[in-house]
Amino acid sequence: MEVRQVGKSFGSRSILKKVDLTVHSHEFICILGHSGCGKSTLLNMIAGYLLPDEGEITVDGEAVKGPSKSRGMVFQDHALFPWMTVLDNISFGPEVQKMPKAQAKETAKEFLKLVGLEPYASHYPGELSGGMKQRVGIARALASRPDILLMDEPFGALDVLTRETMRIELQKICSQLKPTILFVTHSISEAVYLADRVVVMKHGEIAEIFEVGIKHPRSSHSAGFGEMMSRIERVLMDEEHLELASAKVGS
């Protein structure tokens, strides 16, 4: 996937400014930055929900001009259909893609097993915990067998312990299926735990890209983990420190 000189504005506000990014097959990319830096806007343009004002996004050489089954999306609020069972939620995508209903159900069962929720096939979303709903959301996105999985802060609304569990679960899924993933997050530790590369965004631009280079399975105790977090934090915080220093000088 290629993002070339992509820009996006809403009214007079420039959200993205000439962004360039290359994503390789089977790569796990985390896009990290403060609120309002443009990371979710970039993800929505890759999904095809928004179109660039300038530049181009291509997948396998084809320009992204709208949503596609080749790019699956997982949202922070999971976006499950509350009137459908867990199994029906997961089989929805394959059925929309004209897969025979029986085959779609078998595909749904396969991905339900992958996320460890087989006993909950006949439950409704309202009967599940937040972490379980997100597992269903991930299974639903994967069941359509996208080439690229786009995840917009999928664990952001979860408590700390559930979030940690979901990171481990996602890593297990990645090791089995090896999808290409773009994952938006505010969390430096989450990015270092999951990603092959971390893309740090500031004010609509890519400030720096870090190659993590730590073998999986990883933990906060892995060699180089803390150092990588510190390097990323310095890039994110540099400007804040400069602003604080200027304020002190001015006072």
Q: Which two tokens stand for residue 184?
A: 């938006």
Q: What pLDDT score was predicted for residue 217?
A: 87
Quickly tell me which residue has 């962004």 as its tokens.
Answer: 19
Q: Is residue 211 assigned to a domain?
A: yes
Q: Is residue 169 assigned to a domain?
A: yes
71 and 59 Cβ atoms separated by less than 8 Å: yes
26 and 180 Cβ atoms separated by less than 8 Å: yes
Q: CA–CA distance from 85 to each of 27, 121, 141, 211, 240 (Å)?
A: 32, 7, 16, 40, 47
Q: What CATH code is carried by the domain that includes residue 51?
A: 3.40.50.300
Q: Is residue 194 assigned to a domain?
A: yes
Q: Mean pLDDT in runs of 10 for the chain (251 residues)? A: 96 93 96 92 95 95 92 84 94 88 92 90 93 90 90 86 86 87 94 96 95 92 95 83 44 38
Handedness of CA 55, 61, 66, 67 (dihedral sign): negative
Q: Is residue 133 assigned to a domain?
A: no
Read off the pTM.
0.89
Q: Which domain holds residue 180?
A: 2-70+146-250
8 and 45 Cβ atoms separated by less than 8 Å: yes
Q: What pLDDT score was predicted for residue 238?
A: 75
Give the DSSP per-residue string, 153-183: STTTTS-HHHHHHHHHHHHHHHHHH--EEEE
Q: Is residue 166 assigned to a domain?
A: yes
Burial 109-140 (b: 16+ CB within 10 A, else e): bebbebbebeebbeebbeebebbbbbbbbbbb
Please return the burial class of 247, using the count of CB atoms within 10 Å of its CB with bins 0-12, 13-18 and 19+: exposed
Q: What pLDDT score was predicted for residue 54?
A: 95
Q: Is residue 104 assigned to a domain?
A: no
Q: Is residue 182 assigned to a domain?
A: yes
How far apart CA 177 and CA 154 sit, in angstroms, is 19
- Number of domains the chain contains: 1
Q: Is residue 18 assigned to a domain?
A: yes
Q: What pLDDT score was predicted for residue 239?
A: 57
Q: What pLDDT score was predicted for residue 93?
A: 87
